[in-house]
Amino acid sequence: MSQEEPLLQNRNSRPPGLISRSLFLYVFPLLRLANKTPLEFEMIKDLEIDDQGESLFKRMNQTFQVYKHDRFALYKSLFITFKKQFVIVYIIILIWNISLMYGPIMIRQTLSYIDYSEHTIGKGFQWLGIIIVVRVFNAISYQNSFYMLRKLGYDQHTAVSVSIMKKTLNVSFQSNKQYKTGEIMNIMQVDLQRILQLNMAIASVLFLPFQIGISFYLLFDFIGVSCLAGLGIMILGLLTNFLLGRWGWRIQKQVMVAKDNRTKQAHEIFSQIKFIKANAFEEYFKNKLLSFREKEISLIHKKNMVSGFFILAFLMTPQLTLNITLAVYVWLQHNLTPAETFSIISLFSILQQSASALPSFINQIIEANISIKRIQNFLLTDELMNDCIYNVNDILGNSIEIEGTFYWDKVKNNQFPNKSTDVVPVNQEIEPILKNIKLKIDIGEFVTVIGDVASGKSSLISAILGEMVYNFSRLPPVIKINGRIAYVSQKSWIQNATLKDNILFGLPYDEKRYRDAITYSCLEQDIKILDKGEATMIGEKGVNLSGGQKARISLARALYSDCDIYLLDDLISAVDMHVGKFIIEKCLCEHLNGKTIVLITHALYSCQYADRIILMDNGTVIKEGTLDDVKECEKFDQIYQKYFKEQKKDEKEDEDDDMEVLKLQKKKSSTQKINITNKDQVDDLMILEDRKVGSVQLDVYKEYFKMSGGWLFFTFNLIIVIIQVFARFGSQIWLAQWSGQDDLTYDDNLHNLMIFSFFSLSFGFFALIRILTLSRESVNTANKIHTRMIESLLYAPLCQFFERIPLGVLMNRLTKDQSVLDTEILWTISILYISCLNFLASTLINVFSSSYYIVLPVLIFLYAVWKVQRFYMAANRELYRLESISKSPILSFFSETVNGLNIIRAFTKQEQFLDRHTKNIDLNRKIQIAQLQTTTWFSMNLTFTSFIVNISAIAFVLFFGSENPALAGLLMTVATVIDNSLQSAINSITQAETQFISFERCLAFAKVEHENGYKESKPYILNWPQFGDIKIDQLVVKYRENLSPALRGLSVMIKRQEKIGVVGRTGAGKSTVTLSLLRVLEASGGSIIIDGVDISTLNLKQLRESITMILQDSTLFEGSLRENLDPLHQHSDQELNDVALQCCLGDLLLQKKGLDTEISENGDNLSAGEKQLISIARAVLKQSQIILIDEATANIDIDTESKIQQTIQTAFKKCTVITIAHRINTIMHCDKILVIDQGEAKEFDEPQKLLEDKSSIFYSLYLQGKKSNKI
């Protein structure tokens, strides 16, 4: 870091003075630094304490709590919290408006001075001085009000963002079905963004009546009662726009709903991309997502149509008002004078400028109003049932006490009765999930909870954690917690952080505790082979880990927390049998001895270690006690018999076997290193937000030019703009000529009025054409890039792309960047057209109407603008990219938080996550403030630079314009247009370049390289595969080119209809085999041949359609059971019902609504077992010749697993089946067992033959499994 950079960081130690603040001189060092080197985060000034998120949130939250029952609670909170800033900025805006309205008075007085007064140099300089002072006040007040309104918006945005995060941390989305992940993401990404626009829009709308009032007061002073007719037209125009605005508001609400649905769908699709790719469902989900986009586009077109007429009405209202005013003035037999004419033109120019921006501001208010209501509704939604949870501290009391009835869903209309009314709606049955639970768990007790799928085991833990709801009309439940809780969920939650940080989970580092956590969670070998060891980055959601590794990291997190109570939801099912046995014996029984443990499990062997067993069925506790007590229960006996039916043939097990296993383990541990799926070895798995340094490349502009209609569209738009500008300036030139004529008759005035009206109406007509064509092409172009992005992303490679790009970055492209393309870029280009032509026309009028003297100031002005703009853009480009880079972690972290809420709350880490979110916001916001400061500096300097032309023109009028007052008036009016239009042009160029960065980023995603073979036009091979013969020959597979192989020369021959079980220690390469068969991973060497065809030569879609894979993590989408079983709608309801019954889903069909049963987001309203059963039923329906099962029964109880195994054996009898499983008993029925170690096939033979070889790896795994299964 240079010596200058610390000075920038320390600028906040010496606050700038009044002049420096007013003129933004304190920004200059940052701009100078940006012109020397690309800016980095540490170079930007930190926020003041009062401007930081924590301080802003506390202030606003206090106000919100006072007004939260008010209909406009959030509005009032935003205003009252920042009322001091509002008062100051509104005073400055008032000063700006006064200086603005003084302009027409100055024109009138100046022209009167020229026409009638005695000309003296002193008097001329006096007027020139007054004009300069007024213009300086105007510039300073406008730029400072702009800055303060935007900064106020950032303050409000930050306070509300932290409020949303805090609320999210206290809402159970499982029990509150009103909000889905996609909708919450949209609230955080889209709705929150609209608060930034609100203050500028409200200020403009509020002060428009002031401008109109002053304008008509001055008009009355200038031309008398003629202005009253114009006032009537103005009122009529505003009323018309009010009605159009209400219409647009209703459509905007529909647009927001459509945007929510698209965002939610995109989030769901890209969260489950592995399942989609494994099943070749890309085309189906692409069409599904694009259909949501089509609905959104249709509504946007409809909204743009209304907005077009809305904008036209606002543009034409001042024009029509001026026309009617002049018509009445002429009708009353008055003649126009230059002083009257150009002061009127100046007034209406101000009104037209405000009116032209007003449609946009009203539209922003409409959008913001909808968004604020959505945010307010979310902030007021019900939170967790903390009112019935009591944290006690009693060393002699129970560790956990729970008593009551609990629910997931509320009543059928998704609303419980209001707490204050205590009335249950009539005829509304509330179905409890847990019924009449009454449990007390002692301190230090080890309790196992067992039962069938959907018996309520996981819900019991959720109730203890306070995640479920209760019926307010009945006696509330009581939950007493005596100590701190550590929780390991059934579905592991991993943060996008290093392995070490995932374990520490925000706690200070303690060497012994950390090493113990690593040891007792069996992570030592995993860490040893990582290039960066425990500092290795783990991808988003743990995408680069196996299920067992994720579960053990979750366990390590719990162990390191050193809590009093451990709630473990089906932990043992996710790990290998021998690892599970070690965890129970060494970790739970020894290391956690004296701690309270509640273990939900399907592994009945763990019951022998428990102090107490709780047996659940249908949401109730049917038996509890010791193992001997529970054995007497018929239900337990049923589960027991099914669990051990595979073990009954051989019950003899002695110490010799145990010693043999230990010897084998010792022998192997001395030479074996677990080869974690090699993608873990990459230094930095996750790719940070892309940041390109420097200006946007020319190719990016060319690409947008081609996509948005090319030469035809832009030429047509240019012609329309030329005509529009010609009509505008033609009307002013005609007025100058009209007012300069003497002794005009009534007919002469009427003729002049008609020509002037023709110019005005032409302006409106061509403005409408431009607005409608532009809005349509803008949306169409945005839709093209959206479609290309979706197509490109869905066909992108899984390991090389999706496992390295955080979901937050991807969603940022599809929301924020896409929104810029939808609504901003083409409009900015169009404004650039108009501004440039306005500048050119006004300059030519000045040159040809006065003297070539004005050319020199214009050239000086252009050179100065070019220098200032270059100086500014060096900072602006990098700040924009830094802002985008700092934005994505906010969304990624928020999404990550939503997915891990149960764990975060169980560990009471809400404040830690709120603090990190606040810090992410503060980092992003300090860049936004720097952007705002540099932009305001640029605008301020541009304004002062424009004085060169403006003051030169006024000086020429004052000292040399006495011969033609009408021409002098035209010059003064047009001189104002020169600097305003050039400012607008420069701002448009700046905005366009920053907006094109959004297009550049979207274009990069639209050009992501597809998987090999997906878009190749290879013909389908008919009736392939017929048999299911698989030959794997010397297969070498890498996850990425720079990594070592995950499979090293693997060779296996699998015959048709054979059932193959694949075993191996965690990370040995088992899942890599299945990914290679689907070509999710391409072979670096060797080949896979199925039925005589090398799969590398196949069309990728045909390959994946022909093979069925059942994933370890079950995948469900929001929708009906029918849609989840048959996404492509290829089967009849009868077929679906038959398969559902075959796969043990009969209870789900009967208890709910059959095939119309609603599945919530991620299947959160189903148990893990039910979700996996649906996945298996979906596989049965696909009827493939080759079936890949990747640890698919890990989270299913023994009873259901037995049924599933029987179903698999029956349904897939004539198929080739490759099964990866933790439980040895699930693959003992297989024809052959493949043992993989370090990416190589170490053993491949029939199970019995492998068992006969007591030195085999499989034999040791089998013995460990049998020992683990013994009660």
760-772 pLDDT, tens digit each? 889 888 988 888 8
Residues β-bridged to residue 1236: 1241
Mean pLDDT of 497-526: 93
Whether residues 1061 and 985 fall in one domain = no
pLDDT in tens, 688-700: 455 455 567 788 8
User: Which pLDDT band, with edges at 50, 70 and 90, does 555 fall under?
Assistant: very high
Are residues 57 and 13 both part of a single domain?
no
- Check residues 675 and 979 and name the one with the higher pLDDT: 979
Mean pLDDT throughout 926-943? 90
Is 789 in the same domain as 713? yes
Sequence-separated (6 or more) residues with CB below 8 Å from residue 604: 450, 639, 640, 643, 1198, 1269, 1271
pLDDT at 687: 52
- The answer as to whether 426 is a domain residue is no
Phi, psi values for residue 45, rounded to 5°: -60, 135
Give 46's DSSP letter: P
Q: Find the mean pLDDT for residues 220-244.
A: 82
The CA distance from 366 to 1118, in Å, is 30
Model confidence at 247, in pLDDT bands (50, 70, 90)?
confident
Per-residue pLDDT tens over the stretch 1064-1094: 876 678 888 988 999 988 899 999 999 999 9
Q: DSSP characters for 443-492? A: TT-EEEEEESTTSSHHHHHHHHTT-SB--TTSPPPEEEE-S-EEEE-SS-
The Cα 664–Cα 661 span in angstroms is 5
Residues 1186-1208: pLDDT tens digits? 999 876 665 566 666 666 777 77
Whether a cis peptide bond, with omega within 30° of 0, leads into 1025 is yes
Say what the pLDDT of residue 1069 is: 81
Provide the CA 776 distance to its chain's centre, in angstroms.
26
For 1268, phi then psi, to 5°, come to -65, -30
Are 699 and 665 members of one domain? no
* Weakest mean pLDDT among 141-145, 790-794, 816-820, 907-911: 816-820
Beta carbons within 10 angstroms of residue 936's beta carbon: 20
Can you give the pLDDT at residue 515?
Answer: 95
d(CA 1187, CA 1207): 13
pLDDT, tens digit (0-9, with 9 covering 90-100), for 153-198: 999 999 999 999 999 998 876 555 667 776 787 788 778 888 887 8
> Distance (Å, rounded) from C-alpha 1192 to C-alpha 412?
33
Count the Cβ atoms, other than its own, within 10 Å of residue 122: 6
Q: How many helices (H) and strands (E) does the chain have?
A: 41, 22
pLDDT tens sequence across 337-347: 888 888 888 88
Give the helix/strand (H/E) hosting 1258.
Answer: helix 1257-1269
In 3D space, the residue among 1187, 1193, 1190, 1162 whose CA is nearest the CA of residue 1069 turns out to be 1190
Higher pLDDT pick, 1157 / 963: 1157
Q: Are residues 15 and 158 in the same domain?
A: no
The residue ranking higher by pLDDT, 475 or 1237, is 1237
Residue 591 pLDDT grade (very low, low, confident, very high; cuts 50, 70, 90): very high
Residue among 652, 660, 623, 620 at smallest CA distance from 638:
623
Mean pLDDT of 930-958: 83
Task: Judge whether 342 and 322 are in contact, CB under 8 Å.
Answer: no
Inform me whether the pLDDT recorded for 959 exceeds 60: yes
Q: How far apart are alpha carbons 1166 and 1149 in whole angstroms?
A: 13
Mean pLDDT of 399-409: 88
Q: Which residue has the higher pLDDT, 472 or 97?
A: 97
- Whether residue 884 lies inside any domain: the answer is yes
CA of 528: how far to CAs of 511, 523, 576, 578, 678, in Å?
17, 9, 19, 20, 13
Query: Which pLDDT does position 672 carry in this prediction?
Result: 35
Whether 222 shows a pLDDT value over 70: the answer reads: yes
Of the two residues 765 and 413, the one the predictor is more confident about is 765
Asked if residues 854 and 846 have their Cβ atoms less than 8 Å apart, the reply is yes
Mean pLDDT of 783-794: 93
pLDDT tens figures, 852-887? 677 788 788 888 888 888 899 889 888 988 887 888
**What are the distances in angstroms from CA 486 to CA 251, 506, 511, 906?**
48, 14, 19, 6
305-309 CB contacts, 8 Å cutoff, 24+ apart = 305/772, 305/775, 306/244, 306/247, 306/248, 306/251, 307/248, 307/359, 307/363, 307/771, 307/775, 308/768, 308/771, 308/772, 308/775, 309/244, 309/768
With 50 as the cut, is the pLDDT of residue 674 above it?
A: no
Q: What distance in Å separates the CA atoms of residue 10 and residue 474, rounded to the nearest whole number? A: 60
pLDDT digits (tens, 9 = 90+) for 646-669: 444 444 433 344 334 334 333 333
What pLDDT, on a 0 to 100 scale, did the predictor assign at position 3? 45
Report which of residues 957 and 17 the model is more confident about. 17
Residue 1237 CA to residue 1231 CA, distance in Å, equals 20
**Residues in Cβ contact with 325 at an 8 Å cutoff, skipping those fewer than 6 apart:** 219, 223, 226, 227, 229, 230, 344
C-alpha dist (Å) from residue 343 to 336, 384, 758, 1152 = 11, 64, 21, 75
pLDDT surpasses 60 at 442: yes
Q: Are 406 and 459 in contact (CB under 8 A)?
A: yes
Say if 1236 falls within a structural domain: yes
Same domain (yes/no): 1051, 1038: yes
Q: Provide the residue type at 704 as one letter.
A: Y
| DSSP 8-class letter at 427 | T
What the block records as the tokens of 4 is 């200058």
pLDDT in tens, 100-126: 888 888 888 877 777 665 666 677 778
pLDDT for residue 419: 38
Least confident of 721-725, 1029-1033, 1259-1263: 1259-1263
Residues 736-751 have pLDDT tens digits of: 888 877 777 888 888 8
pLDDT at 904: 94
Pick 648 or 477 by higher pLDDT.
Answer: 477
Same domain? For 807 and 667 the reply is no
pLDDT for position 673: 32
Do 667 and 697 fall within a single domain?
Answer: no
pLDDT given for residue 665 in this prediction: 38
Instruction: Report CA torsion sign: 769, 771, 775, 778.
Output: positive
Residue with tokens 């120019």: 349
**Closest C-alpha to 612, from 627, 597, 622:** 627
Q: Do residues 30 and 934 lie in contact, with contact meaning Cβ atoms separated by under 8 Å?
A: yes
- Whichever domain contains 591, its CATH number is 3.40.50.300
Between strands 1107-1110 and 1030-1037, the pairing is: unpaired
- Residue 431's identity, in one-letter code, is E
Q: What pLDDT was estimated at residue 646?
A: 44
Q: Mean of the pLDDT values across residues 1018-1034? A: 89
pLDDT exceeds 80 at position 721 = yes
Percent of residues, the chain, with pLDDT higher than 70 = 86
Cβ contact 690:1001 at 8 Å: yes
Q: When comparing pLDDT for 81 and 972, which is higher? A: 81
1185, part of any domain: yes
> Which is higher by pLDDT, 120 or 1236?
1236
Provide the number of structural domains found in the chain: 4
In a domain, 404, yes or no: no
Q: Between 338-379 and 226-271, two packed helices, what is the crossing angle to 10 degrees?
A: 30
Burial of 699 (0-12, 13-18, 19+ CB in 10 A): exposed
Residues 583 and 625 in one domain: yes
The average pLDDT across 1169-1182 equals: 85
Q: What is the pTM of this model?
A: 0.73
**pLDDT digit string, tens, across residues 611-620:** 999 999 889 9
- The confidence score (pLDDT) of residue 1200 equals 64
d(CA 1066, CA 525): 10
Alpha carbons 891 and 896: distance in angstroms, whole number: 8
Shared domain for 858 and 946, answered yes or no, is: yes
Residue 408 lies in a domain: no
Confidence at residue 803, expressed as pLDDT on a 0 to 100 scale: 76
pLDDT grade for 1052, boundaries at 50, 70 and 90: very high
Q: What is the DSSP letter of 1234?
A: E
Full residue range of the structural domain in which residue 539 is found? 443-466+484-644+658-681
- Contact call for residues 525 and 671 (beta carbons, < 8 A): no
CA neighbor of 436 nearest in space, from 580, 620, 195: 620
CA distance 667 to 663: 6
Q: For residues 15-21, give the mean pLDDT.
A: 85
C-alpha span between 160 and 166 (Å, rounded): 10
The total of other beta-carbon atoms located within 10 Å of residue 105's CB is: 16
How far is the C-alpha of 1078 from the C-alpha of 1104, rounded, in Å?
Answer: 6
Q: Max alpha carbon distance in the chain (Å)?
A: 127
The residue-averaged pLDDT of 27-32 equals 92
Q: How far apart are CA 913 and CA 893, in angstroms?
A: 9
Residue 655, pLDDT score: 37
Question: How many angstroms separate the first and last alpha carbons of the chain?
Answer: 65
616 belongs to a structural domain:
yes
- Determine the 3-state secondary structure of 682 from DSSP: coil
Residue 368 is assigned to a structural domain of this protein: yes
Cross-strand pairs, 569: 600
At residue 426, does pLDDT exceed 90? no
CA distance 633 to 613: 12
Q: 134 with 22, same domain? A: no
Residue 859: CATH number of its domain:
1.20.1560.10
What DSSP line would sit under 1061-1089, residue for residue? EEE-STTSSHHHHHHHHTTSS-EEEEEEE
Q: Is the per-residue pLDDT at 960 higher than 60?
A: yes
Please report the pLDDT score of residue 60 as a whole number.
Answer: 95
The whole-chain average pLDDT of the chain stands at 82
Q: What is the β-pairing status of strands 398-406 and 434-442?
A: antiparallel
Residue 497 pLDDT grade (very low, low, confident, very high; cuts 50, 70, 90): confident
* 709 closest CA partner among 782, 766, 767, 769: 782
Q: How far apart are CA 723 and CA 127, in angstroms?
A: 36
Mean pLDDT, rounded, for 637-652: 56
How far is residue 377's CA from residue 374's CA, in Å, rounded to a whole number?
5
What the block records as the tokens of 367 is 């959008």
- In this structure, the answer to whether residues 751 and 822 fall within a common structural domain is yes
